[in-house]
Structure 1
Amino acid sequence: MKVKVDSSLCQGHNRCFAMAPGLFKVDDYGYATPRGDGELTADTLPLAQKAVENCPERAISIVEDDAK
């Protein structure tokens, strides 16, 4: 599973980064992006789920590895 950020929805609130800085980074324009390829482990999945639940723009999703 991977975490994804829809850049067309993200408004730069960065709650995800505040909750899970190991999973997200902030780009030069202040928008969140996944670190690396966004791959999740059993340990990071709960953090990603919290980020999904707390994103006010619903820009974050968890997808299967083969999903685009």
Structure 2
Amino acid sequence: MKIRIEAERCKGHQNCVRAAPQLFEVSEDGSTQLKGCGEVHESLEESALLAADNCPEFAIEIEDDLPPSE
């Protein structure tokens, strides 16, 4: 799983930081940024989904690495 933040949508509510502090942090300008490159370890996938669900601006995008099922 990969995550990214659409910076232009982020308004700095920091709900994602509270939901997944292992994945997100507050930048100097008060917006949110990813810790690392956006690759989510399997053990943190649930936290990433919770963070995305709690973003009022829908600024967090999640890309699932699984191939399409047939």
TM-score between both structures, scaled by the size of structure 1: 0.88
The 5-angstrom pairing of residues 44-63 of structure 1 reads 44-63=44-63
Secondary structure of 1:44's aligned partner:
helix
The 5-angstrom pairing of residues 1-68 of structure 1 reads 1-64=1-64
Deviation, 1:64, is 4.8
Structure 2 gap segments, 5+ residues each: 66-70
Matched AA of 1:62 = I
Count residues with an aligned counterpart: 65
Computing the radius of gyration over CA atoms, which structure comes out larger, 1 or 2?
Answer: 2
TM-score between both structures, scaled by the size of structure 2: 0.86
Secondary structure of 2:46's aligned partner:
helix
% of aligned pairs identical? 38
Give the Cα separation in 2 of the matches to 1:21 and 1:42.
15
Structure 1 gap segments, 5+ residues each: none
Deviation, 1:42, is 1.3
Runs of 4+ in 1 over 6 A off after TM superposition: none
Matched AA of 1:43 = S
Matched AA of 2:48 = A
Note the aligned Cα RMSD (angstroms): 1.2
